[in-house]
A and B are shown apart, each in its own frame.
Chain A
Amino acid sequence: MEEEWTPKITLFCCNWCSYAGSDDAGVGRKQQPPSTRTIRVMCSGRTDPGFVLTALMEGSDAVLFTGCHIGDCHYISGNYKAKKRFEMLKEILDEIGLEDERLQLQWISASEGSEFAEYIRKVTEEIKAIGPSPLRQEWMK
């Protein structure tokens, strides 16, 4: 029996909001597909472009940045840095020919469990629609 393909999504969660948000989604028993591999970082500003590129090179179909809403950063300006990095990364991934959906940024606070689950559902559907990452296919050869 052929199993249905599920994407592998690397999810960077900020310790102070989105990680608690994903916890909230679990506690509230919000249904979400098991497609994400969560990595907890102390701040979304800790997400180095190198992490994102490594994740994509090693076979992630998509990478998600999540963090506190602008203005709510525990370290004052970490998410501004994340936003700038995200913008630059978006450009380079587009330049080397990866789809727009493979890198996404979403601000999720600690209390937004249902939003979190909904967001994961939405992204998983999007990635399923565009298929496995060409980088991963390249890697499997």
Chain B
Amino acid sequence: MNIGDRIVAWSKDEEIKKEGASGGLVTSLLTAALKGELVDEVIALQKVSEFEGVPIRTSNVDEVIKCSGSLHAAPINLTKFAVRFFEAHPDGTLALPAKPCDARGIIEQAKRKKINLEKTYLIGLNCGGTMPPITTMKMLEKMYEINPDDVIEEEIERGKLIFKTEKEEKAISIDELEEAGYGRRENCRYCETNIPVMTDVACGNWGAGKNETFVEIFTEKGLKLMNNAIELGLIETAPATEKGIKIREKTNSVMEKVAKKWHKKIFVPIEDRLERFHYYMDVMEDCIDCEACKYVCPVCACDESKCIDFYDPMDSHKISIYHLVRLLHISDSCIGCGQCTDVCPAEIPLTILHRRMADRIQAKYDYIPGMDMKIPPSFEVE
């Protein structure tokens, strides 16, 4: 195997293969990394229900195996958990599954010296989008007419969202769901990064057969990760078919096109200056200064935060200085992961506001955050 190789792989372990999605490769890679002592700890998402997952940091192989299976309706970003790991163990090594926004967050943190990227194994996951849990439950009742508690498996395949219960299997196209106001989270709809090319290996079911995972190896670390799992006899590989590679590329380009369409639809420019002013005042008015958006933000890397230095909850400005400083500070590194909108108790569409600002700055300085380590953050003064 070499860097740049495209292969299909699957787990040899029957249990993992059954529980995990697409042949359980990611779970096997994580367990192999622990067994082969490649890493000290692993971050994985433990399933509570189909709509809830709790991230755990563990060195126990059995706990990792319990985490197998995909969770599309538990939109969690693992970046801050990786930061906490390196705070506790500055010399430790870590492996974690990363969808594109996790990986981009981790790279932005690595640029700010919060994560040691050389000691982090990123197992990239192709991502077509995640779903908000509560909306998904409502959607199941209304559109699918199944009880959310009965769901045992969900899957996204060929633009269709499939839910399986013990008795039946129902598929509705994502376009149809999104027209009705359900489906993926808003920020996922316009996200153009579907294959995590910034990670060590990218895994996904696009272009792979049933119970197989399509893998593309990007780095030396990724190669080590794969070889380790093969040596331990945990996974089996085969070269990818021409057809599979083509299907994967096509799926990616289709997703990108859909994302661009959504971007146009969501980000309608507000030309009039005063209208823009009132738009910001109106949406920000609801803020209760809880600072939750700061705590979840995967790219926020301050030790002592500037954003809370200048504001006082007693100011009672319609738009708080906290948000203004944050808008400014995150504008170069915002990756549009949608965590801030998810946690906001006042339901302010923060991701849209941040992206409006970030699109301007990132276009001005020609900087796309979280893609590689080569370009320093655009705030840096030469």
Interface residues of A (CB under 8 A from B): 48-51, 53-54, 57, 77, 80-81, 84, 87-89, 91-92, 95-99, 134, 138-139
Q: Is the CB of B321 within 8 A of A91?
A: no
What are some 29 contacts across the A-B interface (CB < 8 A)? A49-B328, A50-B310, A53-B310, A53-B324, A53-B325, A53-B328, A54-B321, A57-B317, A57-B324, A80-B381, A80-B382, A81-B381, A84-B381, A88-B361, A88-B379, A89-B328, A91-B331, A91-B357, A91-B360, A92-B328, A92-B331, A95-B276, A95-B280, A95-B356, A95-B357, A96-B277, A97-B274, A97-B278, A99-B273
**Known contacts A80-B381, A88-B361; is A53 also within 8 Å of B321 by CB?**
yes
Question: How far is B270's CA from A97's CA once the two chains are assembled, in angstroms?
Answer: 10
Question: How far is B330's CA from A131's CA once the two chains are assembled, in angstroms?
Answer: 31
**Known contacts A81-B381, A92-B328; is A134 also within 8 Å of B276 by CB?**
no
Question: How far is B382's CA from A98's CA once the two chains are assembled, in angstroms?
Answer: 29
Q: By DSSP majority rule, is chain A's interface helix, strand, loop, or mixed?
A: helix
Distance from B304 Cβ to chain A, minimum over Cβ atoms (Å): 13
Q: At the interface, yes or no: B319 with Cβ under 8 Å from chain A?
A: yes
Q: At the interface, yes or no: B231 with Cβ under 8 Å from chain A?
A: no
Distance from B358 Cβ to chain A, minimum over Cβ atoms (Å): 10
**Known contacts A80-B381, A92-B357; is A97 also within 8 Å of B277 by CB?**
yes
Distance from A80 Cβ to chain B, minimum over Cβ atoms (Å): 5
Q: At the interface, yes or no: B327 with Cβ under 8 Å from chain A?
A: yes
Q: Is the CB of B317 within 8 A of A97?
A: no
**Known contacts A50-B310, A96-B276; is A57 also within 8 Å of B321 by CB?**
yes
B residues near A57, Cβ cutoff 8 Å: 315, 317, 319, 321, 324
**Known contacts A50-B325, A84-B379, A91-B364; is A98 also within 8 Å of B310 by CB?**
no
